[in-house]
């Protein structure tokens, strides 16, 4: 009888020990998750949030693979990343989708996590940047205000790491925290951009352009890559205002900005420099390619028609181009941005003087303080 009682006591002790060990393990997991959540929350901006996810989070939990798939139908997030100077190649595990089809297929109408080792289709698409495709995955929906905005993905080289029966409470909470932080970061960047956009045309203003000019010149010098600048001016713009009124003049500016944007790459920087003038920074672009881009923009504007109630208006522009060839030694680094602008402006003056609706190039050392021709 005593032996039976002793055996029951020992069994109970073992059960209690298991419970205690499980409780300690869960407490340790919870603490690690809470620490990571705090790192997400403390991230100062979108760039640090991405860095925290792709570097800190992966290392902290020793994940074989992590990735983000973001729904970005209007290229909004990608434009923000470009404005921040974050190249997509920096994060090969960051992917974008223009439509919600794949995400809705993954999570269903109830937006449930996708778990398991039998998901080869999704595993391949979610982890394109990985040298070895994960064997098992955990994909969690990123949701804000009942709206699916992306997926938070973890991959393992172990088939049994994530199964359909795996508990996801901690992971789902992590994804929820990340979704809130991501939305806040995007909204903060939008607020910043509001002060850096021209309200009429929707392109960046002079203040933003000047900031990016300094950054791009510095980057060009460090990486020994060329940087080109285009100065664009609408021909005879005063005529539109005088003959048709300022509302039509505003339409001309908006149409020209829209056409220019359609010809640009994501890495290019467009700004309304003032009045009817626009400026473009072409990163990693030498003279020949810059002139080709300028000519393409000029031709697109010339082919465009501004449709009014009773007739259509022809618009042309003149363009000046200059290039900072950082592959060559630059004797004076200070003021190179101003020199680049001055050279492009001088080239624009030459295009105006030569009859308008044309492109001209001016080297940095050839720039002079020539007077502008209005219109």
Contact status, residue 216 vs residue 223, Cβ threshold 8 Å: no
Instruction: Report long-range pairs for 332-338 (Cβ below 8 Å, ≥24 apart).
Output: 333/221, 336/217, 336/221, 336/364, 337/213, 337/214, 337/217
Alpha-carbon gap, residue 310 to 252, rounded angstroms: 16
* 93 catalytic per annotation: no
Report whether 227 contacts 340 (CB < 8 A): yes
Nearest alpha carbon to residue 306 among 314, 318, 298? 314
Judge whether 293 and 285 are in contact, CB under 8 Å: yes
Q: What is the DSSP string of 87-122?
A: -GGG-TTEEEESSSHHHHHHHTTTT--EEES--HHH
Tally the residues of the chain.
375
Let me know: does 49 contact 186? Beta carbons within 8 Å. no
Q: Which helix H or strand E contains 201, and what residues bound it?
A: none
Q: Is the dihedral of CA 298, 303, 306, 310 positive or negative?
A: positive
Q: Which of 276, 295, 302, 307 is catalytic?
A: 276
Q: Residue 356 — φ and ψ, nearest 5°? A: 70, 170
Catalytic residue numbers?
276
């Amino acid at each position: 009888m005593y032996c039976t009682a002793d055996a029951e006591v020992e069994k109970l002790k073992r059960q209690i020990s298991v419970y205690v060990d499980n409780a300690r393990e869960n407490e340790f997991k919870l603490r690690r998750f809470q620490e990571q959540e705090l790192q997400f929350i403390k991230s100062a901006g979108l760039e640090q949030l991405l860095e925290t996810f792709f570097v800190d989070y992966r290392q902290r939990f020793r994940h074989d693979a992590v990735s983000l798939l973001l729904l970005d139908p209007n290229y909004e997030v990608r434009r923000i990343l470009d404005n921040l100077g974050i190249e997509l190649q920096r994060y090969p595990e960051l992917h974008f989708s223009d439509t919600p089809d794949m995400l809705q297929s993954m999570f269903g109408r109830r937006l449930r996590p996708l778990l398991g080792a039998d998901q080869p289709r999704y595993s391949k698409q979610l982890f394109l940047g990985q040298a070895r495709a994960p064997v098992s995955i955990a994909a969690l929906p990123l949701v804000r205000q009942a709206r699916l905005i992306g997926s938070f993905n973890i991959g393992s080289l172990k088939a049994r790491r994530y199964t359909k029966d795996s508990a996801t409470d901690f992971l789902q909470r992590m994804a929820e925290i990340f979704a809130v932080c991501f939305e806040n970061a995007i909204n903060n960047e939008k607020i910043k951009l509001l002060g850096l956009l021209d309200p009429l045309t929707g392109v960046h203003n002079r203040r933003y352009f000047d900031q990016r000019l300094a950054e791009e010149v510095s980057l060009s010098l460090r990486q020994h890559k060329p940087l080109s600048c285009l100065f664009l001016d609408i021909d005879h713009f005063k005529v539109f205002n005088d003959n048709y009124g300022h509302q039509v003049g505003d339409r001309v500016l908006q149409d020209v900005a829209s056409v220019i944007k359609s010809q640009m790459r994501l890495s290019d920087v467009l700004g309304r420099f003032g009045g009817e003038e626009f400026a473009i920074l072409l990163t990693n672009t030498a003279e020949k390619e810059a002139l080709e881009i300028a000519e393409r923009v000029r031709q697109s504007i010339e082919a465009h028609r501004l449709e009014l109630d009773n007739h259509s208006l022809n618009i042309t522009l003149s363009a000046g181009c200059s290039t900072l060839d950082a592959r060559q030694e630059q004797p004076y680094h200070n003021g190179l941005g101003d020199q680049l602008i001055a050279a492009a402006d001088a080239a624009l003056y030459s295009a105006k003087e030569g009859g308008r609706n044309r492109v001209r190039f001016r080297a940095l050392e050839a720039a002079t303080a020539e007077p502008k021709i209005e219109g």
